[in-house]
Chains A and B, each alone.
Chain A
Amino acid sequence: MTWSEMQPLLRDACLDTLFMVWWSTVYAIIGGLPLGILLVLTDRGALLQNVVVNKVLGAIVNLGRSLPFIILLVWLIPFSRFVVGTSIGPSAAVVALAIGAIPFFARLVETAVREVDHGLVEAAQSMGGGTWTVVLKVLLPQALPSVVAGLTTTVIALIGYSAMAGAVGGGGLGNLAIAYGFQRHETGLMNITIVLLIVIVTVVQLLGDLVVRRLAARGSRQAAPVGLRRLRRTAVPAQRKPEAAARSAVAPASAEDVPDGS
């Protein structure tokens, strides 16, 4: 197979993969973010304590998380047909990808939101803040770096899943690799596909890390650009630990624990 023959195939497959990943990510956020927050809020002793709702949501999330994705894909074929009118192609795959990704992302959001210091919630309550205030002004902004890190993980998982969806006729790079690389022994095409997947995953990870680091910089001693100039002039300890930013990128909530230099 020549390069000019491969080119349109690769381009279409790439676009299909991006289409699947993009839309399933959108649905993962729309579904997973509120679900993750609700899992925290309805927990025992939390703002909207509701044991029944908490248990039901938890069970649904666990169900979605414990099913191997390939089973979910096959199991959801009738449902996909019902929702988008077809059981093959990228649109059908988005249905399964979204349903797989929502509980995955929800758990990551839950973990991120749980990391937020309860004292901050109390502070907002002591000012007269209600549940919405707590969620929108405290929990989400404080958990944002972790949520973004979780989103990166989710997108990368979705890239992998979308390749799997290719195996059952979902289209995209996975489909290309199987249909040409595996079944027609087009090793060259298969290798290019693999390289493309690696490139996409790497770019997503780097982008995600960049955003997380930017967000976490506010909470760490490594100051945001404006403050950096001031710190250079005054505080020495800030320069001492370049790894502090990297650490807080992993666990931003712990940034509060960094001892004061005072």
Chain B
Amino acid sequence: MITTKGLTKVYRSRGREVTALDGVDLHVREGEVYGVVGQSGAGKSTLIRCVNLLERPSSGTVTVAGQDLTALAGRGPRANAELRKARSRIGMVFQHFNLLSSRTVQSNIELPLEILGVSGQERSRKALELLDLVGLADKAKAYPAQLSGGQKQRVGIARALAGDPKVLLSDESTSALDPETTRSILQLLRDLNRQLGLTILLITHEMEVVKTICDSAALMKGGRVVEHGTVSELLATPGSELAAELFPVGGEPSGPDRTVVDVTFHGEAATQPVISQLSRTYNIDISILGAAMDTVCGKQVGRMRIELPGRFEENVVPIGFLREQGLQVDVAPVNDPAPADKSLKEGAK
């Protein structure tokens, strides 16, 4: 639904160059919720703004719903009629809502319809319908200043949906909201995704958002996508930074000469008593340093950090046993002088 190829954006200001995007290839499938996470300054906003060409990429292409927007754009900095038409079919939601304080809620939602040249009666019918959809039917005549943050974002979402878009872009749309409101907005986005088949590309710095609604995710660092995939793929990838972030388990080893292992359980394996089997089979004492169960994208996933006595070399066999049980095993880099990213394969040192 959204594809970017080699997307690069270099900002030049007063002789200084900042590479905000460095060859980003992104593929968002139709009907999925795709989350892009990364720290502040990673280039997330630049990426999403390049998708509807609010920002001109320095090079690379953006295709939305089969249409190459970069080809539409033309030369100058101004958007031509074709690009504007394409934009009107891509909804966008903002962190600070960006509602016009001079207009009522209903009138705010009618703005994109005015731009599309929809007649007055039809506009107000559509606006009221959308207000109903986002659960604010009684606020039509209120002004944005009279609404709470969550209500403002609902208006923002209704406005983004006015042009019947197939794609919704969301730049930190819940970052200005409290956790409770964040959940309700995410729920709304999820419902819209399911009910309308809306494809959603969202940017966030909160893992909680990805955990709650994303089907796929990408991690950005310094203008590059360093990890991407469906959330279940990521959770099943040894050493995945996103997986560890999505699902952190804490716990420090009790002393030197111990091997700390993170075990991730999915589906079937989650119900088997593997740890006690391990203990019995190899006659070793296992300490559980930390453990958590959680629902990620509607799937039950568990993670456990366990400690085995002895150095890694002495534990190759028990670890092999765990892997045979269909578990994902990551040897934790705790207390280790070697560079952090150490999965089982390269772990033998």
Contacts and interface: CB of A to CB of B under 8 A. Distances in A.
Q: Which secondary structure characterizes the binding site on chain A?
A: helix
A117 B81 CA distance: 24
A255 B79 contact: no
Given A219-B101, A219-B102, A128 B142 contact: no
Contact of B146 (A120, A122, A129, A227): A227
A122 B54 contact: yes
A12 B144 CA distance: 49
* Size class of the contact patch on chain A: 35 or more
B145 A125 contact: no
A127 interface: yes
Given A126-B92, A227-B142, A133 B98 contact: no
B13 to A, nearest CB: 9
A41 to B, nearest CB: 11
Contact of B150 (A126, A252, A262): A262
A162 interface: no
B181 interface: yes
Interface stretch (A73-81, A83-91, A137-145, A164-172): A137-145
Interface residues of B, number: 44
A262 B112 contact: no
Contacts of B78: 47-48, 130-131
Contacts of A223: 143, 145-146
B266 interface: no
A137 B108 CA distance: 10
A128 B143 contact: no
A130 B76 CA distance: 14
A72 interface: no
A7 B329 CA distance: 100
12 contacts: A119-B94, A123-B92, A125-B79, A125-B87, A126-B90, A127-B163, A223-B145, A226-B141, A227-B143, A227-B146, A252-B101, A261-B148
Interface of B: 52, 54, 77-79, 81, 84-88, 90, 92, 94, 96, 98-103, 111-112, 114-116, 141-152, 159, 162-163, 169, 178, 181
Interface of A: 47-49, 117, 119-120, 122-131, 133, 137-138, 141-142, 144, 215, 218-221, 223-224, 226-227, 230-231, 235, 238, 252, 255-256, 258, 260-262
